[in-house]
Amino acid sequence: MFSYLKFFFMSSIVLVICATAFIGWYYRTTADNIISNQVQTNNISIAKVYTNTVWKEHREVVKIIYDIASQDRAEYVEYVNFGKDTVRFLQEIPIARFNLYSPNGEPFIRTTHNTLNISGTDNNLNENVSINIFDIIKDGKPQSEIVEDAQFYTAGGKIKEGILVRTLIPIMSENYVGILSNQKPELDGVIEIYYDVTDAIGVMRNFQYIGAGFILVIFGILFTLLIYTSRRAEKIIEKQHETNVELTSAKVKAETENKQKSQFVANISHELRTPLNAIIGFSEIMKDEVMGPIQNEQYQSYTKDIHAQGVHLLSLINDILDYSKAESGKLELEYEEIDLNKMVAVCLRTQEPRANSAQVALVKDLPSEHIIITSDAKRLKQILLNLLSNAVKFTPAEGSVKVSIWENISDKRIGIEVEDTGIGIAPKDIAKALSPFGQVDSELSRKYEGTGLGLPLTKKFTELLRGELKIHSEVGKGTKITILLPKDNKEEMIQAQHPLPNNPKTSSE
């Protein structure tokens, strides 16, 4: 994950730098154009005033002097006077340089901070210009450019390095009508003005650098937060993965220990059944007085109690053994065709004495046509007996227990339902009632002894038979338990020999 994040981070940095550079370039170009246009407008205004005053006064003389060699012009008073008038005009105007060119592009007058240069030498120490004077002569249109890293003289005669705006403005001939006449431009000269914009552009570019830096800082903070959050999330995911691995390992370990426990319980149950069978057998012989009468009535009562408790204990051990086998997947199933109507009737008869004693009515709702199901008769009967026994046990006097069976032709399943008017189970306690040795604590349930294996064993047998168990119960109103089993279990016969699935079909409504 971090490699992808690193790639994203590096790509984003490149994109941000490129975007910042583009924005900076666009801002700089726009700012430079704005300043250049403003300065050009100002320089054109200066040139216009100059041509209407100084130039207009000396126009005719200047045209004559144009033809005199540059090294000889200083000898003419008219040329010197024209230069002095030019300097006086520029006295209060804050420009860096003012130059005048003849119509053929030859320098005519050069000034440096209002100082006349009539030596003919260039007053530009370092001029990085791109606009040619002849382009102006040809087109007759003003043009401006920004000159970077220009070196020029200040008013005090010192050399300064900065940024200038250079504007070339044509002095149009009096005979020139205009662009609309399609007349070729006629020039009397070209004015070149240099304006110092070092401070103005410096401020604009400082804003550019500050803005670019601010953008980079903001993105840097955002990326730092992203990296921090991602790394933290990665650590959480890694920790969660480690926890999941530990939980999986613990689950496997618990399942292994549970199987070992079940095997241990099964072994102990086998060991307990052998002496218990002897106790039950001998106590039954004594109870029935096979070897002769027992004269003492107290001994007779003790013998009956020993036999009854032995049978009860054997039943509990058998339940534990069956559950252990079912949990470990070692319980063998024997499939056969069963008349479900007859099996329900037999199970009801076995519960009649207990139901009559508890004053609980047994009601059956069986279809007239007998239902035949392919299943394990022993386990199916045990399911019915467990459900009926629990229903009778937890139903108060004057209550009822109803058994219904039906066949669902659409999904080829058989339904068995046992409904009572007993104490019921709270929804939050249903899971506890279905867990091994789990008993819901209630006033009536405490009257009866038991291991709490009735419902869990029923659930386990239902799962083994590839069925589904549903429970709907309300406290004080009763419980309805529905078992849905496949009618034909031929395919499941083979699958039942394997361990149980991890997700049994058990639900509560």
pLDDT of res. 62: 86
State how far the alpha carbon of 53 is from the alpha carbons of 58, 59, 111, 116, 276, in Å: 9, 10, 18, 18, 138
**Which tops the pLDDT comparison, 270 or 387?**
387
The answer to whether 288 touches 325, Cβ cutoff 8 Å, is no
CA pair distance 130, 142, nearest whole angstrom:
14
Q: Tokens for 417?
A: 């339902």
- The tens digit of pLDDT for each residue in 197-228 reads 888 888 887 887 887 788 888 878 887 887 78
pLDDT of res. 494: 52
- The tens digit of pLDDT for each residue in 177-203 reads 555 455 566 788 899 998 888 888 888
pLDDT of res. 373: 93
- Name the CATH topology of 1-120+133-205: Beta-Lactamase (3.30.450)
Q: Which of 325-329, 480-484, 497-501 has the highest mean pLDDT?
A: 480-484
pLDDT at 120 over 50: no
* CATH entry 2.30.30.100 includes domain 334-494: no
Instruction: Place 352 in a pLDDT band, splitting at 50, 70 and 90.
Output: very high
Helix ranges restricted to H, 415-453: 430-434
pLDDT of res. 175: 60
pLDDT of res. 491: 60
CA pair distance 438, 457, nearest whole angstrom:
11
Nearest to 99 by CA among 161, 152, 174: 152
pLDDT of res. 431: 84
Q: Which of 83-97, 134-148, 164-178, 249-263 has the highest mean pLDDT?
A: 83-97
Three-class DSSP labels, 157-223: CCEEEEEEEEEEEEEECCCCCCHHHCCCCCEEEEEEEEEECHHHHHHHHHHHHHHHHHHHHHHHHHH
pLDDT at 169 over 50: yes
Residues 6+ apart with CB under 8 A from 505: 463, 467, 468, 469
CA pair distance 502, 379, nearest whole angstrom:
21
Average pLDDT for the chain: 81
pLDDT at 343 over 90: yes
Of the listed ranges 203-217, 328-342, 356-370, the one predicted with least confidence: 203-217
Q: Give the mean pLDDT of 23-46.
A: 86
- The tens digit of pLDDT for each residue in 377-429 reads 999 999 999 999 999 999 999 999 999 999 998 888 999 999 999 999 888 88
pLDDT at 89 over 80: yes
The answer to whether 407 touches 372, Cβ cutoff 8 Å, is no
CA pair distance 258, 252, nearest whole angstrom:
10
CA pair distance 144, 452, nearest whole angstrom:
101
Residues 6+ apart with CB under 8 A from 420: 391, 392, 394, 395, 399, 400, 401, 402, 478, 479, 480
pLDDT at 503 over 50: no
Q: Give the mean pLDDT of 337-348.
A: 94
DSSP state of 499: P
Of the listed ranges 307-311, 443-447, 490-494, the one predicted with least confidence: 443-447
Query: Residue 387, by phi and psi: left (phi above 0), alpha (psi -120 to 50) or beta?
Result: alpha
pLDDT of res. 131: 66
pLDDT at 127 over 70: no
Of the listed ranges 155-159, 345-349, 409-413, the one predicted with least confidence: 155-159
Q: Give the mean pLDDT of 242-262.
A: 85
Nearest to 428 by CA among 437, 418, 438: 438
The answer to whether 438 touches 493, Cβ cutoff 8 Å, is no
The answer to whether 165 touches 36, Cβ cutoff 8 Å, is yes
pLDDT of res. 360: 94
Threshold 0.75, pTM exceeds: no
Instruction: Place 158 in a pLDDT band, splitting at 50, 70 and 90.
Output: confident
CA pair distance 398, 360, nearest whole angstrom:
6
Domain layout of the chain by residue ranges: 1-120+133-205, 334-494
Angle at 347 between CA 342 and CA 351, to 5 degrees: 145
pLDDT of res. 305: 85
The answer to whether 402 touches 363, Cβ cutoff 8 Å, is yes
Instruction: Annotate 347-374 with b (16+ C-beta within 10 A) or e (fewer).
Output: bbeebeeebeebebebeeebeeeebebb
CA pair distance 77, 70, nearest whole angstrom:
14
Q: Give the mean pLDDT of 466-470.
A: 92
Q: Which of 325-334, 441-450, 451-460 has the highest mean pLDDT?
A: 451-460
Nearest to 484 by CA among 503, 453, 463: 463
pLDDT at 504 over 50: no
